[in-house]
Amino acid sequence: MKLKDKVAIVTGGARGIGFAIALRFVKEGAKVAIFDVDKSKAEEAVEKIKKEVKDAKVIALHVDVSDIESVKRGIEEVVKNFEKIDILVNNAAIHLGKPFHEEPLEYWERQFKINVLGTVIPSQLAVPYMIKVGGGSIINISSKAAITGEPGHAAYSALKGAILSLTMAMAVDLAPYKIRVNAICPGPTETDLLYSATTEEERRRMAERAPLKRLAKPEDIAAAALYLASDDSSYVTGQKIVVDGGMTIAAVERV
């Protein structure tokens, strides 16, 4: 029960990595609010968690993380239901990609709005509540693509790289308030999004690239998030944890 009596927000928590983080946090004693632009999927996620965890304290809120008024309403509901905010996981994101010279400006603009501003807005609105309780933990979900050059998604890579720079800047500014800010960089992870975007053969080749010879599972990312959310990482801030089976350190042929 490493998060007993803590209140956490997980953006994009209706599925995939976000859902795994929300579920793990609830299992560790946290009260969790799932922010998602897909209200029905968020409600389904809450029902799944309640079936798995007895007496789970979890709510679903329809929130567009790129819309400040939507986020304000979500934050207010969290405080109304759970009275405070201790942890924020900025997981909501979209992925659009083409070769760099074919990537339209629209791809850059849409991903900036959701992937970057969708991290900034919830963080700015949650911080005052964390200050009230004497500190907190913000976890930004970046990507392996922020670290290594990969074909076909320059905008996504660049904006996930921006998340890493943002994490360090936030960590410095918020340290006086005992708010820690860290990032997780997942490698290819077995989610619906990955399965819809790749073939079985492509996933096999991705797994082969990893020294650990498998793709990440959402639970692998959730375990890293638990560490960063809990007191186990009380002296860790401004850092990134790469959860990719060793892909970024291996000199192997790309897919």
Residue 139 β-bridge partners: 89, 182
Tell me the one-letter amino acid at 21: I
CA angle at 216 for the pair 215 and 222, rounded to the nearest 5°: 170
In angstroms, what CA-CA distances link 71 with 18, 27, 34, 49?
17, 25, 12, 23
Residue 201 identity: E
Give me the half-sphere count of Cα atoms (radius 13 Å) on the Cβ side of residue 85: 27
**Sequence-separated (6 or more) residues with CB below 8 Å from residue 232:** 2
Beta carbons within 10 angstroms of residue 204's beta carbon: 12
129, 156, 195, 227: which one is catalytic?
156
- CA–CA separation, 131 and 157 (whole Å): 32
| Cα atoms in the 13 Å half-sphere on the side-chain side of 22 | 34
Q: What are the backbone dihedrals phi and psi of residue 23, each rounded to the nearest 5 degrees, phi first?
A: -60, -45
* 156 tagged catalytic: yes
What is d(CA 222, CA 35) in angstroms, rounded to the nearest whole number?
16
Residue type present at position 190: E
- The total of other beta-carbon atoms located within 10 Å of residue 214's CB is 13
Q: Which residues are catalytic?
A: 156
